[in-house]
Chains A and B, each alone.
Chain A
Amino acid sequence: MQIYLPIAEVSVDAFVILGLGGAVGFLSGLFGAGGAFLLTPLLIFMGVPPPVAVGSVANELIAASVSGAMAHWRRKNVDFRMGGVLLVGGLLGSGFGVWLFGILRKLGQIDLTISVSYVLFLGTIGVFMLMESVRAIMRHLNKAPPARRTRHPNWVRALPLKLRFQKSRLYISALLPFGIGFFVGILSAIMGVGGGFVLIPAMIYLLGMPTAMVAGTSLFQIIFVSANVTFLQAVSHQTVDIVLAAILLVGAVVGAQYGTRFGARLPAAQLRGLLALMVLAVCGKLLFDLVVRPADLYSIAVVPVDL
């Protein structure tokens, strides 16, 4: 069924959009990482202009992460204190990132910067996570004792402003999650995504949070980050297509519920392994696009006019 999107100014098949939303919602419920990574490029491929795709996906992410976060909250898997500290860092970081984005764009080749940093980040994180989860699964098969929890190096333990995060059973400096939130905020502003892909591995490996707690806490903070992006995009560029977001989010909220349920049944190590494979798949696709000769070396863009 074709439907016309008023802001994107294109007609799309509503059922395809609904299915995309559902698949991405499922992933976000499962891992706590949004699927903006996958969703935004797919929408652009369908003919939605890139700025509209970014703005509308941010809008849809709010719904998906509320739906997912509430499901996790019911299982008592959200560390609000940790989420709050990450969020403060994230909001400040995304402000800084928007400023940095402007400078990079003036220097030219912003698209290239985005693609190359994606490939580097995803490649590193993906390989690292995959190796770790394979080791964990092997240990499980060999009935070996589980690995010790992450021990923070001395300089981390020496940091001031220590806070007790009861839910995560951590007693660490608030500067650590703040810094991670800030860094991810920069990345999400420059790359135009929620940041779950980077945030989740950081929470597991750098903060040493229990895997069960990670997805819910990440979703909790993505609600606010994506609400911030939606608002800024709507006010400054009018690129939030409410019709597109509405169709996407119907699929996404339902998908997120199933994703959460499915995730609860999977062992943590396998869950991390699956996420690692997905990260590597996206990384591979981006690398492929950078290296393989494009079908047409020429591309066009309409010069925007100020109304």
Chain B
Amino acid sequence: MSARFTLRLLFVAVVAFAAPALAARPAVAQALVADISDHLVAITAGFTGTNVVVFGAVEGEGDVAIVVKGPERDITVRHKGRIAGIWVNENELQFVGVPLFYLVATSRPLGELAPPDILKRHDIGLENMRLAAKRAVPKEENQEFREGLLRNKLRQKLYFAEPFKVSFLTGRLFRSDFYIPANVPIGTYSVEVYFIREGQVVGAQTIPFIVSNAGVGADIQYFAHAHSIFYGIIAIFLALAAGWGASVAFRRI
């Protein structure tokens, strides 16, 4: 409840401050002002995913597209083939700097938003996302590996087939809800908000946010890396004690 209340306050603040500011200086004003409800998503022991809200105001008529990208890593895509009746990994292709999480929200279907080259330039939409392969392969092969990668990410529920909805509350205020799932990778994320008018990007803003471990989980993770020898010994002794304890406890029953 309190989170939602805070959100409302923020929202009112944006309306109260941003809107008059935009109105006062139309010629040089930013066409777009946006923010998100949480700049830090803390993953604690009970984490089951969370909602993040992007909201803001635009100057004048137009559409809004939001791209949320997770930490970028290299990903190896492997293709299986059949050899002597057994399915074996035959060949692979590595893609560089692939976002582990990717989500798009738009106020209008992608096709009506802007021409494909504009969408491609800003990575708006799954089919427009640029993925760079580490080695040169024929175009069809690249395309198959790319689609294989996207299918796997969709199955992991870290990519989404359809854009989410950006809704306008009045002519200039917009908001969009998206869900950060429980299996979200930790790291730095960015929310890119684009204001599009007549097929051209006329305003853009990037808002970073961080997904990180917090609480006991973060402490355990730190200890496992910083003092791995002690961690190993503690893990062994905990298990020994538990096994012994259960054995003694059951003897009495």
Q: Chain A interface (Cβ within 8 Å of chain B)?
A: 2-4, 6-7, 9-11, 47, 59-60, 62-67, 70-71, 74, 109, 111-112, 116, 223, 227, 230-231, 233-235, 238, 240, 242-243, 245-246, 249-250, 253-254, 256-257, 290-294, 296-303, 305, 307
A sample of 14 cross-chain residue pairs with beta-carbon separation below 8 angstroms, ordered by A number, consists of A4-B46, A9-B213, A11-B47, A11-B48, A63-B240, A63-B242, A67-B242, A111-B89, A112-B88, A235-B232, A238-B224, A294-B80, A298-B151, A301-B78
Docked CA distance A301–B234 (Å): 31
Over the window 225-253 of chain B, the binary record of Cβ atoms lying under 8 Å from chain A Cβ atoms (1 yes, 0 no) is 10011011111101110111111001100
Tell me whether A303 and B87 are in contact (CB under 8 A): no
A66→B243 contact, CB < 8 A: yes
Q: State which of A62, A227, A243, A299 has its C-beta within 8 Å of the C-beta of B152.
A: A299
Binds A, one of B189-197, B200-208, B214-222: B214-222
Interface pair B239/A62, CB less than 8 Å apart: yes
The answer to whether A230 and B243 have CB atoms under 8 Å apart is no
B220 proximity list for chain A (CB < 8 A): 6-7, 242-243
Interface of chain B, main secondary structure: helix
- Residue from A11, A223, A299 in contact with B182 in the complex, judged by beta carbons closer than 8 Å: A11
Contact (A240, B239) CB under 8 Å given A4-B46, A298-B152: no
Residue of chain A at shortest CB distance from B228: A235
In the complex, B199 has a CB within 8 A of chain A:
no
B86: Cβ under 8 A from any A Cβ? yes
Q: Which residues of A contact B37 (CB under 8 A)?
A: none
Residues of B with C-beta under 8 A to A307? 225
Chain B residues closer than 8 Å to A305, beta-carbon distance: 73-74
B62 within 8 A of A: no
> Is B78 a contact partner of A71 (Cβ separation < 8 A)?
no
Point out the residues of chain A lying under 8 angstroms from B77, CB to CB. 298-300
Q: Chain A residues with Cβ under 8 A from B74's Cβ?
A: 302-303, 305
Is the CB–CB distance between B243 and A249 below 8 Å? yes
Range, interface on chain B: 35 or more
List residues of chain B with CB within 8 A of the CB of A60.
Answer: 239
Closest 6 CB pairs of A and B: A298-B148, A66-B243, A234-B232, A253-B246, A6-B217, A62-B239
- In the docked arrangement, what's the CA distance between A246 and B251, Å? 22
Contacting pair A71 B238 (CB below 8 A):
no
Known A63-B239, A74-B251, A299-B78; judge A7-B232 contact (CB<8 A): no
Q: Which residues of B contact A231 (CB under 8 A)?
A: 232-233, 236
Question: In the complex, which residue of chain A has the Cβ closest to the Cβ of B147?
Answer: A298
The total number of A-B Cβ pairs within 8 Å is 193
Instruction: Give the distance to chain A from B212, nearest Cβ to Cβ, in Å.
Output: 11
- Does the CB pair B246–A254 fall under 8 Å? yes
Smallest Cβ-Cβ distance to A10: which chain B residue: B183
Q: Smallest distance from the beta carbon of B245 to chain A beta carbons, Å?
A: 8
* Cβ contacts under 8 Å, A65 to chain B: 243
- Tell me if B100 is interfacial: C-beta within 8 Å of chain A: yes
**Residue B153 is within 8 A (CB to CB) of chain A in the complex:** yes
Q: Does B126 contact A (CB under 8 A)?
A: no
B247/A67 in contact, CB under 8 A: yes
Q: Which residue of A lies closest to B183 (CB)?
A: A10
Give bound CA distance, A167 to B235, whole Å.
Answer: 32
B168 → A minimal CB distance (Å): 34
Question: With A and B bound together, what is the CA distance between A4 and B89 in angstroms?
Answer: 32
> In whole angstroms, how far apart are the Cα atoms of A67 and B49 in the complex?
36
Q: Are A300 and B242 in contact (CB under 8 A)?
A: no
Write the nearest CB–CB distance from B101 to chain A, whole angstroms: 12
CA distance A230 to B236 in the complex (A): 7
Instruction: Assess A302 versus B86: contact at CB under 8 Å? Given A71-B250, A227-B236, A256-B246.
Output: no
Contacting residue for B75 out of A4, A116, A301, CB 8 A: A301
With beta carbons under 8 angstroms apart, the residue of A2, A9, A63 that contacts B46 is A2
Residues of A within 8 A of B80 (CB): 294, 297-299
Q: Which residue of A lies closest to B217 (CB)?
A: A6
In chain B, what residue has the closest Cβ to A66? B243
When C-beta atoms are compared, the residue in chain B nearest to A301 turns out to be B76
Shortest CB distance A229–B (Å)? 10
